[in-house]
Structure 1
Amino acid sequence: MAIGLLVALSTLFSIAAAVIAAATALSRGEALDPDGLVQSLAQPDGLVMIWVTLLATGGTALVVYALRGRATPDERRRSRQVLSRPSTWGWMVLVGLATLAASTAIAWLGRHLGSEPVPSNQAIIQGAFEQSPLFMYVFAALLAPAYEELLFRRVLFGRLWRAGRPWLGMVLSSAAFALIHELPGLSANSWPATVQLWMTYGFMGAAFAWVYRRTGSLWAAIGAHALNNAIACLLLVLGYA
């Protein structure tokens, strides 16, 4: 269901973005360029791609959550109680920093083995940051962690957790998290470099699932994810890609 919705919404919003771009050009009295329209549909610029990602993935997360993983009033009450504990915030910060440290360690090891992969979304993110840095920081540090944790941890991991198979849920949801961030064939990375990126994203997914289960609150996973992304974006802006 999630894959089908993601593909459908991505296609829909990509077409909508191309139509809006064409309508904007016509309203300015510019001649419509069919080749340019096809190009904008096939390869939208960074900021447009971020909006398509936000609407498509966020929409998928909300729909699947509503149909397959909606929290009960009792679950929401327990989650609020958990957030009042200092230990929850401690785990949140610890896991957020641990995922960043693990990513750095995997990158360091990869460099020493002759592998320096470039994430397929890095150029898009850097281009979008140049166009709208404030929006991109909000997107990367707040919006993306919220909808990704809702989809991958609450719905995918949570389904198997509630069925009594949390470790299987952790493995499968982390694998899905890694694949959606780095699909093979979409970049010039070699297979070893792609596997290195999968290890990075897979560890992140497993860590966020672990803190969700450890604390009992999805907000802990969202917070850890947000902290990781906020620091990573700051390093990206400072030139430490």
Structure 2
Amino acid sequence: MAGEPRQARPPVPAASVFPLLRAFAFDALIAVVLVIGGTLAAAAIWTAWRAMAVAGEVGRDAAAIQAGIGHPGALAQMLFALGATSFAALVLYFWRRRADAAERALAHAALRQRATWGWTVLVGVAVFLGSSLLGWLGEQAGSAPVPTNLALVEEASRQWPVFLFLFAVLLAPAYEELLFRRVFFGRFLAAGRPWLGILVSSVAFALVHEVPGISANPPLAVVQLWLIYGGMGAAFAWLYWRTGSLWAPFLAHALNNGIALAVHGLA
């Protein structure tokens, strides 16, 4: 029927909910372990490298070495996130949710349709406008949330603007779409449970971007950020479902991030 989301594959009977949720929980657990483990490994390598560099300057004074190591800067933290999360996304994709030749052919065919590009631009712009509207409404209610990564983005915009642009507009959307839309949402889509998949994958997307207890945001601000990130995740998942190509949400995600950088003067 016209206007209905187009499946990447022919419709299939809806699978049972609880086995799907168990599979999702296993995917999510693997992702968490790989991201945390990868981040800790990267931080350990960075610390060892810094310790050797500082030791070359101050000698073997342990206290001086410890004081000279310092903390990872914006570039190092972005590289940690890039390495750990992209590794987790790739492992889960190739191990758990690898696309076959038929699906890849359909995804590439979707890129040759003008409707795919139209929906991509529409969703990318709508996500930015919707996020901005939620932010404005929060301000009217006295809520001014501070995203967890804001300080990192501001530092990177001053010191590493080109890498920040590449990271925010190309690299982060690539591994986030592969993980959250292809692996997490794609499992539900293939099993005939797309609406459940939109809900579950969007909640996961929101929680990853605003982890409870990490920031100093009050509860209302945390809920506001969850609504913003959850709405983004839902829109990108729907776009993947609608077009049948992961390229569409990736490009929409990149467009949203690019507009945000340009509007807020962080590019």
TM-score of the two chains, using structure 1 as the length reference = 0.93
Shift of 1:177: 0.6
| Cα distance in structure 2, aligned partners of 1:26 and 1:3 | 34
The alignment status of 1:33 with 2:65, answered yes or no, reads yes
| Cα distance in structure 2, aligned partners of 1:3 and 1:19 | 24
Matches within 5 A, 1:1-241: 1-28=30-57, 32-37=64-69, 39-40=70-71, 44-237=72-265
| Cα distance in structure 1, aligned partners of 2:86 and 2:266 | 28
Comparing both chains, which one has the higher relative contact order based on Cα–Cα distances under 8 Å and sequence gaps of 6 or more? 2
Counting aligned pairs with the same residue, the percent is: 48
Which of the two has greater helix per residue?
1
Note the residue ranges of structure 1 that are not aligned, 5 or more in a row: none
The structure with the largest alpha-carbon Rg is 2
Shift of 1:33: 2.3
Partner secondary structure for residue 33 of structure 1 = helix
Shift of 1:83: 0.1
| Cα shift readout 1:56-102 (whole Å, capped 9, x = no counterpart) | 11111111111111111111111111001111000000000000010
2:5 counterpart residue number: none
| Cα distance in structure 2, aligned partners of 1:206 and 1:231 | 19
Shift of 1:23: 2.2
CA contact (8 A) 2:124 2:255 kept: yes
User: Alignment RMSD, CA only?
Assistant: 1.5
| Cα shift readout 1:91-132 (whole Å, capped 9, x = no counterpart) | 000000000010011001101100010101000111112111
| Cα distance in structure 2, aligned partners of 1:27 and 1:230 | 41
CA contact (8 A) 2:55 2:65 kept: no
Greater Cα offset, 145-154 or 175-184? 175-184
Greater Cα offset, 194-203 or 121-130? 121-130
| Cα distance in structure 1, aligned partners of 2:125 and 2:185 | 22
CA contact (8 A) 2:58 2:65 kept: no
Note the residue ranges of structure 2 that are not aligned, 5 or more in a row: 1-29
Structure 2 vs 1, CA of residues 56 and 163 (structure 1 numbering), >3 Å: closer, same or farther?
same
Shift of 1:214: 0.2
TM-score of the two chains, using structure 2 as the length reference = 0.84
| Cα shift readout 1:115-173 (whole Å, capped 9, x = no counterpart) | 01010100011111211110110110000000000000000000111111111111111
| Cα distance in structure 2, aligned partners of 1:48 and 1:219 | 28
Q: How many residues align?
A: 235
